[in-house]
């Protein structure tokens, strides 16, 4: 039996037979050509065929998917129609006088290499779109037919190096019971669709395709991020029991959907969902969320093609607002810059992009992009319960500047006679230590706080959580982190505003009791994590949570706090510690 460890992309347990999806890249020929016009004609004919193929795929899938699930296909069509893209291929074709297959292939490889070097994981994963489009066009140039997952007739565990977006959306999801891939991460198209379809998935396994064979028995443990190949009969039987218990647990937790996240002594807590793309909206109601606590709007800017127009953004925001039945939706303004490279966004390579030109810093330096987004948000505000949030605020000066920008856009819309809500709550993310320490000042200009623990912990302890050598230092229960959290929440309450959290810590059941005792008003997390956090909140009183926090804040070491919390949560609330 082989056990592989990867990234838990979609929870659940899947047991079945491996189906190897190895749609390998063809060997692309390279040779000199004299007739450039003929090669150009071949290229444009292949583009036209690829466009027709995508349109047909959209038409077939519209009956089973929402338009938002198919949005990436629109980005593929945009890419095929992008004048800059076709011009770059034409220019290289004329300069190198090589066959168009090779010119297209080399152009795409250069672009993929450039994006793969970016530190932003979301941007790296967008290379799948480029790969998908180029492969489709190359297929028509080289007369190759694509393998389809839509024709699966038996239940399988899908094993592959990566899954192209069109393959993921087109697959027979009733027959794909689990997914195990060498590549990918939590923000990849495959991960998003797997969560949407509730298919257990483990990605980033590196070499599962090297170890697995067609027909192998395989177990995908999406809860722990593990894949077991050719398990022993004893292991298989154990996992069948685990799978049965997991399903029973899911059914029990779903029974809490209609109940409020209320402590035993009557304290009501808001539990909301984080989303990255509109495709995830369906999971909001399915898991009993009280709304959306973080919508990462930058997904619109991370697809191939031009920067989204005001109208494109407006339609996306409107769709999300209308889809959650007047529940609150917090949309974070654009969080890009620094190392993030886009075709229409001017950026520069920085030595330390994490501390560089990003988020509000980027937006305040690019007011045309920033104001366009604010216009789209304000226009969409009439369609639901919108809240606007600004990321990576480091001091009051930035708060004043973004509020001035918002007011400028409001004045422009009024002059134009455009309708919008004037009472939209405006808040900030607290993810920089300077913002935490001056949160008493910032609270005077904010309608709410949302704590971004991913960055706050990283900046507070000075640890790059992506560096495996010091990953052990990335510790949410560090006394310094807990003291900052208490300061932020207390300062928010002193000014009469709410304090929420949208970082990964909010969705960690081990942290629920601590955050509750610290006075957190709102937890925002992946929708699938909501039922478990709700269960804990409903089974405890505020006085018990506050008593635990009192003990924890007296402790001197995160090792001591970790041990205490894990033992308490496992014993008192049956929270599994892995």
Catalytic residue positions, numbered: 189, 502
Smallest Cα–Cα separation from 401: which of 355, 445, 458?
Answer: 445
Task: Give the chain's end-to-end CA distance (angstroms, integer).
Answer: 21
Question: Residue 501, CB half-sphere, CA atoms under 13 Å: how many?
Answer: 29
Alpha-helical regions (H) of 62-99: 71-80, 83-96
Whole-Å CA distances, 241 to 3, 234, 487, 528? 19, 11, 45, 21
Helix (H) or strand (E) holding 40: helix 36-61
Query: How does 518-543 read in b/e, with b if 16+ C-beta sit within 10 Å?
Result: bbbbbbbbbbbbbbbbbbbbeebebe
Distance, in Å, from the CA atom of 454 to the CA atom of 461, rounded to the nearest integer, reads: 11
Q: At what angle do helices 36-61 and 100-116 cross, to 10 degrees?
A: 60
In the numeric block, the tokens 């704590």 are attached to: 451
- The DSSP letter of residue 32 is B
* Three-state DSSP string of 463-509: CCCCCCCCHHHCCCCCHHHHHHHHHHHHHHHHCCCEEEECCHHHHCH
List strand residue ranges (DSSP E) for 82-175, in order: 156-160
Contact 320, 68 (CB under 8 A): no
Secondary structure (DSSP) of 526-563:
-GGGHHHHHHHHHTS-HHHHHHHHHHHTT---HHHHHH
Query: Under a CB-based contact definition with an 8 Å cutoff, are residues 208 and 218 in contact?
Result: no
Residue the block writes with tokens 């059941």: 509
CA distance 401 to 418: 23
- Residues linked to residue 160 through DSSP beta bridges, in sequence order: 21, 181
184 token code pair: 């990918």
Q: What is the rounded distance in angstroms from the CA atom of residue 405 to the CA atom of residue 364?
A: 8
Residue 86 CB-half CA count within 13 A: 18
Whole-number Å distance between alpha carbons of 564 and 554: 12
What tokens were used for 360?
Answer: 């509000």
Phi first, then psi, for residue 232 (nearest 5°) are: -70, 160
Chain center to CA of 479:
29
């Amino acid at each position: 039996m082989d056990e592989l460890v990867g990234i838990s992309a979609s929870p659940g347990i899947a047991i079945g037979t491996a189906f190897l999806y190895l749609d390998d890249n063809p060997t692309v020929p390279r040779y000199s050509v004299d007739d450039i016009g003929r090669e150009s004609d071949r290229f444009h004919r292949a583009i036209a065929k690829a466009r027709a193929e995508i349109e047909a795929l959209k038409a077939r899938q519209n009956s089973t998917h929402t338009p938002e699930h198919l949005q990436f296909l629109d980005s593929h069509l945009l890419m095929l129609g992008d004048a800059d893209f076709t011009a770059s291929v034409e220019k290289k074709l004329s300069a190198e006088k090589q066959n168009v297959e090779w010119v297209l292939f080399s152009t795409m490889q250069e672009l993929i290499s450039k994006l793969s070097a970016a530190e932003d994981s979301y941007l790296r994963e967008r290379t799948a779109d480029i790969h998908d489009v180029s492969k489709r066009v190359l297929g028509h140039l080289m007369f190759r037919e694509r393998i389809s997952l839509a024709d699966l007739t038996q239940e399988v565990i899908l094993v592959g190096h990566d899954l192209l977006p069109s393959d993921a959306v087109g697959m027979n999801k009733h027959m794909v019971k689990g997914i195990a891939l060498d590549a990918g991460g939590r923000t990849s198209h495959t991960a998003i669709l797997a969560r949407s379809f509730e298919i257990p998935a483990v990605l980033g396994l590196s070499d599962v395709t090297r170890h697995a064979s067609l027909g192998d028995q395989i177990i995908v443990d999406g809860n722990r991020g593990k894949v077991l190949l050719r398990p022993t009969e004893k292991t298989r039987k154990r996992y069948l029991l685990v799978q049965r218990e997991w399903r029973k647990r899911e059914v029990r937790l779903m029974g809490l959907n209609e109940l409020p996240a209320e402590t035993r002594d009557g304290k009501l807590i808001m539990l909301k969902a984080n989303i990255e793309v509109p495709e995830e909206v369906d999971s909001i109601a399915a898991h009993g969320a009280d709304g959306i606590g973080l919508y990462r709007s930058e997904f619109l800017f991370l697809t191939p093609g031009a920067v989204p127009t005001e109208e494109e953004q407006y339609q996306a925001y409107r769709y999300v607002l209308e889809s959650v039945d007047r529940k609150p939706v917090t949309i974070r303004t654009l969080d890009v810059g620094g190392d993030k490279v886009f075709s229409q966004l001017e950026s520069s390579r920085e030595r330390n992009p994490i501390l560089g030109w990003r988020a509000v810093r980027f937006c305040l330096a690019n007011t045309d992009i920033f104001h366009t987004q604010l216009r789209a948000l304000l226009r969409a505000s009439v369609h639901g319960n919108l809240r606007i949030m600004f990321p990576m605020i480091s001091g009051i000066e930035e708060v004043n500047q973004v509020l001035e920008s918002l007011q400028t856009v409001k004045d422009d819309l009024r002059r134009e006679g455009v309708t919008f809500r004037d009472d939209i709550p405006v808040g900030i993310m607290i993810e920089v230590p300077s913002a935490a320490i001056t949160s008493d000042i910032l609270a005077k200009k904010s309608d709410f706080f949302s704590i971004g623990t991913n960055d706050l912990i990283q900046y507070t302890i000075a640890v790059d959580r992506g560096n495996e050598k010091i990953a052990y230092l990335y510790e949410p229960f560090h006394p310094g982190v807990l003291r900052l959290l208490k300061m932020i929440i207390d300062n928010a309450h002193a000014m009469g505003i709410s304090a929420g959290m949208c970082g990964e810590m909010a969705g960690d059941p081990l942290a629920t009791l601590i955050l509750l005792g610290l006075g957190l008003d709102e937890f925002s997390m992946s929708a699938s994590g909501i039922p478990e956090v709700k269960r804990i909140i409903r089974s405890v009183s505020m006085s018990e949570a506050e008593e635990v926090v009192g003990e924890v804040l007296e402790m001197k070491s995160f090792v001591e706090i970790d041990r205490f919390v894990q033992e308490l949560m496992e014993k008192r609330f049956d929270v599994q510690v892995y």
